[in-house]
Structure 1
Amino acid sequence: MPTTVFDQFTRRTADVTAQLTTLGIPLTAPTPPPADPDLDDPWASSYTVPVDRSTLAWCTAAQMLADHHHTGIDHQVLAADALLRELGVRGLAQLHTDLHHGAPIDYRFTPCPYCSGIGEDPTQPDCQDAGCPPQYEFAGHDHLCPVCRGADYQPQWLAEEHMPELEQLLADAIEEREERASLRYRIRTRLHRRTVRT
């Protein structure tokens, strides 16, 4: 039976929510206790964003954390709640960077964990569902993925394009290293001559 790209998103959500249901974990995160009111800022809000554990973003965050830490999803429930409560869907990009020790992620070579490299928001596949004006429907109007910002994941094509650039960078680095080595040799010989004369 042929499957579409969008089937993997529903499968991911179904797998995670089934695990949560099996473990007896509710699909809606409990609201945290209200913060103490800030007397210095009368306009401050203590409103906390409700977290739905059956969304694609939450399931992706929980799966990423569980895979990285080699634990079950039940151990990562609170971390996924906190991530989405604080940063929302865009927090998945920060999480992906943090899991790679702070290294920037190039989504042209690494598939996005949220949209799996398609570049569009999988929760809003068409303009009608998103409520876009009708004139945008046929104008190539895309709903970019909030994590990778629509990066075109094509590592084979981009690798061919970047190989000459990398070869040139390597040649420049070798040439610079040789220049530095010869400069060090000249400095060393002059210093050696001075110490021999004295």
Structure 2
Amino acid sequence: MPTTVFDQFTRRTADVTAQLTTLGIPLTTLGIPLTAPAPPPADLNPADPWASSYPVPVDRSTLAWCTAVTMLADHHHTGIDRQVLAADALLRELGVCGLAQLHSDLHAGAPVDFRFTRCPYCSGIGEDPAQPTCGEVGCASCLEYVGHYHVCPVCCGEDFQPEWFAEERVTELEELLADAIEEREERASLRYRIRARLCRRTVRT
């Protein structure tokens, strides 16, 4: 059992790497090496917007790739071997920041508020888990407030603190609900007045 949040990242990478290694031994026809080969260079066709322009090999032992393939496999309820190429494409085309787009896509395209939803890459600590911590490097504490380079590239440093933001969120939701009720009552009142006026006209005629 991991003792710290950073231990979780090491375990996540080790678990995925072990699964890939296991899959690559018996499935000789599948063959999943830990480094994805670079795709063949695409014909430069400016008329084809889908032509890939990123012939970069992908390291399948990085935390970002392991996070992407885990998110995809969990969402689609499949083994990671079914999501290897999708994770390759994501990291090749969008890099680590593509994890935020992937997270949003898996939420049906809705924007993800990382104050309430734990960041899949940094698990809510707000720092880039692939970089050394400020304590290890010895960064000045004042750098914490000036866009420090250790900030997580996926959630951009948003703290996962639902208990801190919950009261504010509940207040906002109550205001939205009150506005919706008031608007519904106004519409109902308008419908009643229109119906009453139409009934009066019908009676007169």
TM range (shorter): 0.7 to 0.9
**1:23-102 mapped onto 2 (5 Å cutoff):** 23-24=23-24, 25-38=32-45, 46=53, 48-102=55-109
Letter in 2 for 1:51: V
Letter in 1 for 2:85: L
Q: Which sits farther off after the overlay, 169-178 or 24-33?
A: 169-178
**1:31-180 mapped onto 2 (5 Å cutoff):** 31-38=38-45, 46=53, 48-126=55-133, 137-141=140-144, 142=148, 143-180=150-187
Deviations 1:171-197 (A, max 9, x none): 222122111111110011112222333
User: Aligned partners of 1:118, 1:178: CA distance in 2, in Å?
Assistant: 44
Deviation of 1:88 (Å): 0.6
Gaps of 5+ in 1: none
Deviation of 1:39 (Å): 7.6
Deviation of 1:128 (Å): 9.6
Secondary structure of 1:106's counterpart equals coil
Letter in 1 for 2:142: A
Deviation of 1:47 (Å): 5.0
Secondary structure of 1:163's counterpart equals helix
Name the counterpart of 2:4: 4
Letter in 2 for 1:139: C
Identity of aligned residues (%): 79
User: Aligned partners of 1:39, 1:5: CA distance in 2, in Å?
Assistant: 45
Classify 1:2/1:54 alpha carbon distance in 2 versus 1 (closer, same or farther; 3 Å).
closer
Secondary structure of 1:109's counterpart equals coil
Secondary structure of 2:5's counterpart equals coil
Letter in 2 for 1:140: L
Gaps of 5+ in 2: 25-31
Letter in 2 for 1:22: T
Give the RMSD, CA atoms, in angstroms: 2.3
Aligned residues: 190
TM-score by structure 1 length?
0.87
User: Aligned partners of 2:166, 2:58: CA distance in 1, in Å?
Assistant: 39
Runs of 4+ in 1 over 6 A off after TM superposition: none
User: Aligned partners of 1:115, 1:20: CA distance in 2, in Å?
Assistant: 22
User: Aligned partners of 2:141, 2:118: CA distance in 1, in Å?
Assistant: 27
Letter in 1 for 2:61: S
Deviations 1:56-112 (A, max 9, x none): 000000000000111101110000001111111111111111111111111110000
User: Aligned partners of 2:96, 2:159: CA distance in 1, in Å?
Assistant: 19
